[in-house]
């Protein structure tokens, strides 16, 4: 049986449970173990797919088409293991499964209750779809003490009771604040948080203390004493200079060693921290700076384009440049100011998006990138906007638009009603918004001798999708006669996947989200090539 590690958080949210779980996963994997990382989210949405990025940050999409929490992106980037649908669950999903089952009479007349029915369903999630993993790391979203997370805490308590302490380990991550006025490190919030957790029946085995400063031995002893945790299992995590330094920092603090010791097992191989050391060094080195503009609707929220920001950094790593992201709110981008605002950028990126607000600003920026031959990458909505810009200004279809934004336009982008997935016909809908888009991995065939084929160096690719609308393939010849090439198309020839411009050094639009597959240890070719083009611009 796999060993289960549960990661809870206390005191405040956003302490970096995701990064902690991802770093631990890397350390264990690097020592020869098979690892899986999962996330349980206590909110009532069935998945984050319908949530605004303002609420929840980016929606991360898996190969198998699940719309998940952005922490799954961290897990993938650190472990290089593709997450699956079965790695993320929410309270909403649990309840919807239970209610469906109840309506079918599957509970055989019983009263359906939080304990045992909800907790059983959570336990099913925790150990479901596990093959031969040595470790399953389960992160519990939210903060201990929240009403919403109670069933999850109860379920992991039961899980440990069912399977024994030798198969389960509890890690609690808390904040240890530093008070400047009194020049003191305070352990009380941690004590209270652990007390809360113990009140719910869980004694943490390891306490990880997030702190601005290194925690002196006296305070560590205090945490050990009051929280009933062995002193060597009080582990500090001091703010790192780049997130890619986190595995190094946790290794120095012996987190992995303590975990292995707890389970009474030894590392199968020596941990390899070299890649992270190399990345950290490159990131911190003073290098040439390349300005890339990201023009979108959610630019003020740091996590709204998490994977994208990371993918651009990876592209910079590959080219030994530092990518400076200039976030521009598309709503504020007036056509007559575009030139001034984008004067100092070497590349323009329009990310995925939904809805009308800010679209004209995006279209103006694309127009500028096309005319002034600035490297341009349009992702999903960004590609759709590039199609509209070209249709309006080159093909002179003045009313060109997307049926998502304007029902009366000339729809160069239209609602997708049905499409093919591995030979199976899938029906789309815009009635139910959750989970009904073209989601997950789809193949695209690349045109011979196109820029995109030179970048990927292959004839066909598989990338992750998340959209409801599609470029109208019937306009292909019209676009191509004026120099916009449909250089990637779905295998059935019906869905344009990639566009590029003939008389432009680097202008590419992709209907998918390449950022989800970029990893620091293997930067995505599209981002590497984009940054390379920006470097010479």
Distance between CA atoms of 174 and 208, rounded to whole angstroms?
6
Specify the 3-state DSSP secondary structure of 291: strand
Region 449-508 residues binding ligand GLN, contact defined as CB under 6 A: 466-469
| Options 117, 314, 513, 524, the catalytic residue | 513
Annotation says 513 is catalytic: yes
Residue 516, interface with ligand GLN (CB under 6 A)? no
Return the range that interacts with ligand GLN (CB under 6 A); candidates 267-275, 351-359, 393-401, 524-532.
351-359
Q: Is 192 a catalytic residue?
A: no
Among 10, 16, 296, 352, binds ligand GLN (CB under 6 A): 352
Q: Does 353 bind ligand GLN (CB under 6 A)?
A: yes
Q: Do residues 142 and 196 lie in contact, with contact meaning Cβ atoms separated by under 8 Å?
A: no
CB of 74 to ligand GLN, least distance (A): 20
Show the site string, 77-106: x = touches ligand GLN by CB under 6 A, - = not.
Answer: ------------------------------
* Active-site residue, selected from the candidate residues 58, 74, 515, 524: 515
**387 scored as a contact of ligand GLN (CB under 6 A):** no
CA distances from 10 to 146, 190, 210, 246 (A): 10, 7, 10, 19
Supply the minimum distance, in Å, between the C-beta of residue 14 and ligand GLN. 25
Nearer to ligand GLN, 430 or 443 (CB): 430
Residue whose beta carbon is closest to ligand GLN: 352
- Total Cβ atoms within 10 A of residue 40: 26
498, 428 contact by CB (below 8 A): no
- Rank residues 135 and 381 by Cβ distance to ligand GLN and give the closer one: 381
Number of residues that make up the chain:
537
Among 76, 256, 404, 463, binds ligand GLN (CB under 6 A): 404
Beta-strand ranges (E) seen in 205-320 are 206-211, 234-238, 288-296
Joined tokens for residue 437: 């888009």
CA distance to 260, 293, 334, 340, 358, per residue, from 337 (Å): 58, 14, 5, 5, 14
CB of 229 to ligand GLN, least distance (A): 44
For residue 374, what is the DSSP state?
A: -
Which of 95, 354, 372, 410 is close enough to bind ligand GLN by CB under 6 A?
A: 354
Q: Is 381 among the residues that bind ligand GLN (CB under 6 A)?
A: yes
- What's the Cα-to-Cα distance from 194 to each of 20, 200, 270, 356, 377, rounded to whole Å? 18, 10, 33, 47, 47
Q: How far is the CB of 512 from ligand GLN (least distance, A)?
A: 9
Query: 515 an active-site residue?
Result: yes
Q: Which is nearer to ligand GLN, 404 or 463 (CB)?
A: 404
What's the order of all strands across the beta sheet hosting 400-402?
400-402, 410-415, 469-471
Q: Which is nearer to ligand GLN, 168 or 490 (CB)?
A: 490
C-beta of residue 321 within 8 angstroms of C-beta of residue 535: yes
| Residue 380 near ligand GLN by CB under 6 A | yes
Nearer to ligand GLN, 468 or 494 (CB): 468
CB of 275 to ligand GLN, least distance (A): 31
d(CA 205, CA 383): 49
Nearest-angstrom CA–CA distance, 497 and 295: 21
Tell me how many residues contact ligand GLN (CB under 6 A): 10
* Complex with ligand GLN: residue 373 or 468, whichever CB lies closer: 468
Radius of gyration of the chain (CA): 25
User: Which residue in 255, 233, 262, 88 sits closest to 167, CA to CA?
Assistant: 262
Catalytic pick among 380, 389, 465, 500: 380
Strand partners, 7: 139, 171
Kindly list the residues in this chain that would bind ligand GLN in the complex (CB under 6 A).
352-354, 380-381, 404, 466-469
State the catalytic residues: 380, 513, 515
């Amino acid at each position: 049986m796999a060993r289960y590690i549960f990661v809870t958080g206390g005191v405040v949210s956003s302490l970096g449970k995701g990064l902690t779980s991802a770093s631990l996963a890397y350390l264990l994997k690097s020592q020869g173990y098979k690892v899986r990382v999962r996330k349980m989210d206590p909110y009532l949405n069935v998945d984050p797919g319908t949530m605004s990025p303002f609420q929840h940050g980016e929606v991360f999409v898996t190969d198998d088409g699940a719309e998940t929490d952005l922490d799954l992106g961290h897990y993938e980037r650190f472990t290089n293991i593709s997450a699956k649908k079965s790695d993320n669950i929410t309270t909403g999903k649990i309840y919807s499964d239970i209610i469906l089952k109840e309506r079918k009479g599957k509970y055989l007349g019983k009263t359906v209750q939080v304990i045992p029915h909800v907790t059983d369903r959570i336990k099913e999630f925790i150990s479901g779809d596990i093959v031969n993993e040595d470790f399953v790391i389960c992160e519990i979203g939210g903060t201990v003490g929240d009403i919403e997370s109670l069933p999850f805490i109860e379920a992991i308590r039961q899980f440990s009771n069912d399977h024994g302490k030798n198969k389960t380990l509890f890690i609690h991550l808390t904040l240890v604040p530093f008070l400047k006025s009194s020049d003191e490190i305070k352990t009380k919030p941690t004590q209270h948080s652990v007390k809360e957790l113990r009140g719910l029946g869980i004694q943490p085995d390891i306490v990880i203390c997030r702190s601005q400063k290194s925690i002196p031995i006296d305070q560590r002893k205090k945490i050990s004493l009051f929280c009933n945790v062995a002193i060597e299992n009080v582990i500090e995590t001091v703010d790192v200079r780049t997130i890619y330094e986190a595995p190094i920092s946790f290794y120095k603090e012996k987190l992995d060693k303590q975990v292995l010791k707890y389970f009474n097992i030894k590392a199968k191989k020596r941990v390899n921290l070299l890649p992270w050391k190399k990345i950290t060094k490159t990131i911190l080195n003073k290098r040439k700076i390349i300005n890339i503009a990201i023009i979108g609707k959610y630019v003020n929220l740091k996590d709204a384009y998490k994977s994208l920001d990371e993918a651009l950094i990876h592209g910079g790593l590959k080219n030994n440049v530092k990518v400076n992201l200039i976030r521009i709110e598309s709503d504020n981008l007036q056509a007559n100011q575009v030139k001034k605002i984008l004067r100092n950028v070497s590349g323009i990126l329009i990310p995925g998006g939904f809805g009308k607000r800010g679209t004209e600003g995006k279209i103006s920026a694309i127009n500028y990138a096309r005319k002034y031959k600035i490297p341009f990458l349009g992702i999903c909505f960004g590609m759709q906007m590039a199609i509209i810009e070209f249709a309006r200004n080159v093909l002179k279809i003045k009313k060109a638009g997307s049926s998502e934004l304007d029902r009366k336009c000339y729809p160069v982008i239209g609602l997708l009603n049905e499409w093919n997935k591995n030979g199976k016909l899938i029906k789309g809908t815009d009635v139910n918004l959750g989970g009904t888009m073209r989601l997950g991995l789809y193949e695209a065939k690349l045109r011979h001798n196109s820029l995109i084929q030179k970048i990927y160096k292959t004839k066909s690719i598989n990338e992750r999708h998340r959209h409801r609308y599609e470029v109208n393939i019937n306009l292909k010849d019209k676009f191509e006669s004026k120099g916009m090439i449909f250089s990637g198309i779905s295998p059935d020839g019906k869905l344009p996947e990639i566009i590029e411009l003939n008389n432009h050094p680097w202008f590419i639009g992709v209907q998918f989200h390449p950022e989800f597959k970029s990893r620091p240890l293997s930067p995505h070719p599209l981002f590497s090539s984009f940054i390379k083009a920006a470097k010479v611009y």
